[in-house]
A and B are shown apart, each in its own frame.
Chain A
Amino acid sequence: GQQVMQIPQYQHVQEGEDFTTYCNSSTTLSNIQWYKQRPGGHPVFLIQLVKSGEVKKQKRLTFQFGEAKKNSSLHITATQTTDVGTYFCATPNDYKLSFGAGTTVTVRA
């Protein structure tokens, strides 16, 4: 089935800096979803991208779906301590929702 690979696995960021996490697939994806899991919490849906080249913004978060619909990125600007957590991408495949391994973000104040 479809699998998505996320890089990097860990991201250590200085507060105020920007960073990007990537989600890649070898096959074309119908859509890509992003979730955030805070430490000790549960995954929370952030956004879904469906169209080729789609870009969506949520405050300091920018999500992009590649033109070939095989990759996606999440860019966070001016990182804050509230951005700490693990960010997962996920893609539906038939009735299965497959998650990447996640990028765990820590922030240095």
Chain B
Amino acid sequence: DSGVTQTPKHLITATGQRVTLRCSPRSGDLSVYWYQQSLDQGLQFLIQYYNGEERAKGNILERFSAQQFPDLHSELNLSSLELGDSALYFCASSPHTDKSTEAFFGQGTRLTVV
């Protein structure tokens, strides 16, 4: 158990809909990352927050947005969903100190758009 909690584990929704994925980081970790992993693909970086502020953005679509709340949990919002958005979405947290940047991943949310 990494200590990172993601909900829901599975999500099936129709094209055009909007969903929210939730992530609770490990206790004490200030940094949260979101990654997308399509079938048999690598980990595509979407966005990163540090202590409530957006710090880095990857190739995240305009239809996608995220935020990190004061209690450090994060949400990834996906709207106007398309079939191609079907993927595993991982959240990871990190202490993100000078000496410790390793990421701890949640179990992921498997999104299926039909």
Q: Is the CB of B102 within 8 A of A45?
A: yes
- Residues of B contacting A: mostly: strand
When distances are taken between beta carbons in the complex, the residues of chain B under 8 Å from A33 are 101-103
Total chain A interface residues with beta-carbon distance under 8 A: 20
Which among B11-19, B41-49, B61-69, B71-79 touches the partner chain?
B41-49
Q: Is the CB of B102 within 8 A of A95?
A: no
Q: Is the CB of A43 within 8 A of B90?
A: yes
Which among A19-27, A55-63, A70-78, A97-105 touches the partner chain?
A97-105
Q: Is the CB of A95 within 8 A of B56?
A: yes
Q: Is the CB of B42 within 8 A of A100?
A: yes
Q: Is the CB of B103 within 8 A of A95?
A: no
The answer to whether the Cβ of A88 comes within 8 Å of any Cβ in the partner chain is yes
When distances are taken between beta carbons in the complex, the residues of chain B under 8 Å from A31 are 101
When distances are taken between beta carbons in the complex, the residues of chain A under 8 Å from B102 are 33, 45, 48
Beyond A42-B105, A43-B92, A99-B35, 5 additional pairs, beta carbon < 8 A: A42-B106, A94-B55, A97-B94, A97-B103, A102-B42
Can you offer 5 A-B residue contacts whose CB atoms are under 8 A? A42-B2, A94-B55, A94-B56, A97-B94, A98-B45
